[in-house]
Amino acid sequence: MPDRARRPGSHRPPTPRPLPGRGRGRQGARTQRETWPVGPVEIPTGTVEVVPDPDHAAGATLLVNGVPSSYVDLDDPGVLAFEYMQQMALVVDALRPGEPLDVVHLGAAGCALARAIDWTRPGSRQVAVELDARLPELVRTWFGLPRSPALRIRAGDARAQLALLHGASADVVVRDVFAGDTTPGHVTTVEMVRDVARVLRPGGAYLVNCADGADLVRARSEAATLTEVFADVVAIAEPALLRGRGYGNVVLAASDDPDLLAVAGLARAVRSLPAPARLLRGDELRALVGDAAVLRDPPPDPQDAA
């Protein structure tokens, strides 16, 4: 997607180390950097490239088909440079603080959020789904991702892989799936959202990265779709985007627990990020949604049944 949709922003503050010895160390980071390629590398779905951070030797941005997709800090896996990931992390932080979580990531790329959760929630079990099987193989080599069972990577279509997961098996499902600058329609529909709800445990959270323009057509429709399934939905975005300026990310969070997204301090924490954002809930969210239609799967083709 365009840089604006997944751009490195202000860094989240360095995260505390929950256990000694979990980092790679300076020597480990240097060894890992030696595996970074120079220039784009071809993969089945296009190209991937590691662009070192000129201001931080252990940091790099991963470009997928020329678009910034993840920022990885070998020294501190808890650093999240992209603003929408910082916003998502605040919602994750509100869910059973300090305890291990079972998390499903639909869309893997550099697995930045998965690395952060592994770092801050030792003992978590995560699954990342990536369409291009070669991409996570390279990312494991370049960035030293957590190994199974801490992080398992599955290759395939996000919705198809979600359908294979057991019911009530995840605390969090994250959707960060794009083809170019657009999320494929089949992972935005109410039928898809119902399958997410099936996979989530009671009280779990569904986090959606929606890249949108000034009219917020996609975000409004996706929010309408989430409210069809979940008891509580919030939207998080920079104030300028919500006022109809520019192009960027809207994070949508949904849960069947009305207390999770209303937890004291979440809206304040969102406002206190390095790039301050707003959280819309209740009447404000309904005003955002307006008359937007719920997204649905297309009707079956009669020829397919013949």
| Helix (H), strand (E) at residue 278 | strand 278-280
Report the amino acid identity of residue 293: A
Spatial CA neighbour of 296 closest among 185, 182, 190: 190
Rounded to an integer, the average pLDDT of 168-175 is 99
Predicted confidence band at 182 (pLDDT cuts at 50, 70, 90)?
A: confident
Domain ranges of the chain: 80-293
Asked if 91 and 269 count as a contact pair (C-beta separation under 8 A), the reply is no
Rounded distance between C-alpha atoms, residue 69 and residue 47, angstroms: 12
Residue 214 buriedness (CB in 10 A; 0-12 / 13-18 / 19+): middle
Distances in Å between the Cα of 61 and the Cα atoms of 15, 64, 73, 74, 211 are 19, 10, 9, 11, 19
Asked if 252 and 223 count as a contact pair (C-beta separation under 8 A), the reply is yes
Higher pLDDT, 13 or 234: 234
Q: Say which CATH class 80-293 falls into.
A: alpha beta
Per-residue pLDDT tens digits for 14-36: 443 333 334 455 555 667 888 89
Per-residue pLDDT tens digits for 107-143: 989 999 999 999 999 999 999 999 999 999 999 999 9
Helices (H) and strands (E) in the chain, counts: 11, 12
State residue 104 phi and psi, 5-degree precision. Answer: -115, 125
Percent over 70 (pLDDT), the chain: 89
